[in-house]
Amino acid sequence: MSLDIRPNPSSSAGVTGGLVYKGEYNVTTNSPDLTSSSKGDFYIVNPNAGTLAGVAINVGDHIVFNEDAASPLTSAMFDVIDNTDAVASVNGQTGVVSLGASDVSALAIASNLSDLNNAGTARTNLGLGSAAVLVAGTAANNAVQLDGSSRLPAVDGSQLTNVTSTDATKLAISNNLSDLNNVGTARTNLGLGTAAVLDTGTSNGDVVVLDATGLPAVDGSQLTGVTSTDATKLAIANNLSDLNNVGTARTNLGLGSAATLTAGTAANNAVQLDGSSRLPAVDGSQLTGVTSTDATKLAISNNLSDLNNATTARTNLGLGSAATKDTGTSNGNVVLLDATGLPAVDGSQLTGVTSTDATKLAIANNLSDLNNVGTARTNLGLGTAAVLDTGTANGDVVLLDATGLPAVDGSQLTGVTGTDATKLAIANNLSDLNNAGTARTNLGLGSAAVLVAGTAANNAVQLDGSSRLPAVDGSQLTNLPGGGSAPNITSVSQSTDYTISTSTGIEEIFLITPGADITVNLPTAVGKEGYKYNIKNLASGFTLTIDPNGGQTIDSSPTFAISTQFQSITIVSDNANWFII
């Protein structure tokens, strides 16, 4: 028991000599009368608390007189010994008491709560929700934790409600540029080329990315400058499809019968261990030495309901305080990221969500207000190919077409060999020429050889299906017949049949002197609409028989004869047959 002796402020002397116990003092009834007390007398206050001469006294306190009392009683005459904190025993123990946590049903600090009787009940009593055992992070099912600047980490907040912005011309950081007004213009402002929107790979339309050894396995059949005359070699691009005998090849590689099996859990599959080096879920009913009577094991069918201590199990699994929180969007729930990011929750109390900050990009500017487009590309993880255009010119990124690599010069590729570099590969269709211009000269080709057929500027004009010129501007042509200009005249002496050429001009005169009865064969009328031919017989005694092409006619007749000297006819084509005019 401890004693707290409180001297009265007005007391000038302490108690001397021995103490004489006088019994209990009742404050309420002022019994006994203390004005007759002598120095050394002391009383125990009981059963009520109150005041004595202006001094507060409590049940159990001792009143000790330091001088003889008188009437009226003053506070200077006594001292009060405070006994309200006296302890009779501790946990039933008296004397020198030593207590442990278990003596008072307490948790040991050193145990770090591992001695809780039921951690789940403890969390409930603490008012913790299902989030208590969740791990803090930004992955799915994590509890979102503010960073060192008391801000939300980089998570998709697109579904937050009550998160407003006073300037809709700014890009939201969390949208990762999805709120751009025009992504095409944005790419242009970043200086990106057409390759920026392409995927890397080896399929049609992909951009080829060099791997650790060079070009990946793609069809290089259209490359120029790559030849090979050795038919005994396997083509890299064929991926062994050109093996003469795949079975023999497997034998030569030392492969067993499992080499052709597919990994899986179906019949005849080869069983493949999973990422934890364990067998996948397959029927093991025929396995020997596999027992299920071991009581130290958890039964799969019990779904962990037979755990000895679920709390310890969670601790051993490394679960955090959020593990027992419920997920949802209600008060006390842990926010669970869905497929698009944060769900629709009230983010009105979030700090740092502003739109008036001049450090933001304006949506309407499509990234033209970037401080440094090069740095922006780096921050986007773009490589040097991002600013290149796709094509086959110098500086372009090669884009795979439907058949593989387009026709580009691969003469500087390494690791591509051939046994006779002086020969052109038949399959390359002259794409492996050393100098196409010199080759055209050696072939005697003119400058028109490299022109494209068409009706655009610098195209070579090609006759249409009716052997006629297409609709092109002929305003600059000179020496065109018409307007009184003379037609072409052809004069021949013939004893055998004569054929008018298909390349004959629009208006022609044929003066024919036959040495026998002969046939004059006309070209097809198709494609020669408006063409006009004048045919005259200059000899006597011989007949010229005019014969149209195929089943075509002259004034609906299959032929027309000129048997009189100096007789002539003029015929014109309507694009199908001939008519005399």
N residues, the chain? 581
> Where does the pLDDT of residue 12 fall: very low under 50, low under 70, confident under 90, or very high at 90 and above?
very low
DSSP 3-state of 173: helix
Q: Which CATH number fits domain 488-580: 1.10.8, 2.40.50, 2.40.128, 2.60.120?
A: 2.60.120
The residue assigned the tokens 């000179």 is: 478
Q: Confirm if 75 and 40 have CB atoms less than 8 A apart.
A: no
**DSSP per-residue codes, 347-399:** -TT-SS--S--TTSPBGGGTTTT-S-HHHHHHHTT--GGGGPPBSSSTTPBPB
Buried b (16+ CB within 10 A) or exposed e, 364-379: ebbbeebeeeeebbee
For residue 308, pLDDT beyond 50: yes
Q: Are strands 578-580 and 560-562 parallel, antiparallel or unpaired?
A: unpaired
Higher pLDDT, 262 or 471: 262
- What's the pLDDT at 207? 87
The verdict on whether omega for the bond into residue 523 sits within 30 degrees of 0, i.e. cis, is no
All structural domains of the chain with their residue ranges: 4-82, 488-580
Q: Confirm if 180 and 187 have CB atoms less than 8 A apart.
A: no
Q: Are strands 518-521 and 498-499 parallel, antiparallel or unpaired?
A: parallel
Rounded average pLDDT over 517-543: 95
The residue assigned the tokens 């004005």 is: 35
Q: Confirm if 51 and 27 have CB atoms less than 8 A apart.
A: yes
* Gyration radius of the chain over CA positions: 55
Residue 9 neighbours by CB under 8 Å, 6+ apart: 75
What gap in Å lies between CA 145 and CA 159, rounded to an integer? Answer: 18
> Where does the pLDDT of residue 90 fall: very low under 50, low under 70, confident under 90, or very high at 90 and above?
low
Q: Are strands 568-573 and 532-537 parallel, antiparallel or unpaired?
A: antiparallel
Which residue type sits at 341?
G
Q: Confirm if 515 and 498 have CB atoms less than 8 A apart.
A: no
DSSP 3-state of 196: helix
Higher pLDDT, 52 or 99: 52
For residue 4, pLDDT beyond 60: no
- What's the pLDDT at 175? 86
| Element holding 124 (H helix, E strand) | helix 119-125
User: CA torsion angle for 574, 575, 577, 579 (degrees, to 10)?
Assistant: 20
Largest CA distance in the chain: 188
Closest CA to 464 of 474, 456, 454, 475: 454
Q: Confirm if 460 and 447 have CB atoms less than 8 A apart.
A: no
Residue 336 neighbours by CB under 8 Å, 6+ apart: 140, 141, 327, 328, 343
> Where does the pLDDT of residue 13 fall: very low under 50, low under 70, confident under 90, or very high at 90 and above?
very low
What gap in Å lies between CA 83 and CA 45, rounded to an integer? Answer: 10
What gap in Å lies between CA 45 and CA 35, rounded to an integer? Answer: 16
pLDDT tens digit string along 355-392? 666 778 888 899 998 899 999 999 999 999 999 999 88
For residue 2, pLDDT beyond 80: no
Which of the 8 DSSP states describes residue 267? T
- What's the pLDDT at 394? 92
Q: Confirm if 569 and 580 have CB atoms less than 8 A apart.
A: yes
Q: What is the 3-state secondary structure (H, E, C) of 566-580?
A: CCEEEEEECCCCEEE
Neighbour-count burial of 506, counting CB atoms closer than 10 A to its CB (0-12 exposed, 13-18 middle, 19+ buried): middle
- CB count within 10 Å of CB 283 equals 7
DSSP 3-state of 4: strand
Q: Confirm if 329 and 133 have CB atoms less than 8 A apart.
A: no
Strand stretches in 71-129, DSSP E: 78-82
List the structure tokens of 5. Answer: 């002796």
Q: Confirm if 37 and 62 have CB atoms less than 8 A apart.
A: no
- What's the pLDDT at 168? 72
Cα 204 to Cα 197, 238, 392, distances in angstroms: 14, 17, 15
- What's the pLDDT at 477? 67
Q: Supply the pTM of this predicted model.
A: 0.26
DSSP 3-state of 428: helix
> Where does the pLDDT of residue 480 fall: very low under 50, low under 70, confident under 90, or very high at 90 and above?
low
Closest CA to 363 of 160, 174, 191, 178: 178
pLDDT tens digit string along 71-89? 999 999 999 998 766 555 6
Share of the chain above pLDDT 70, in %: 87
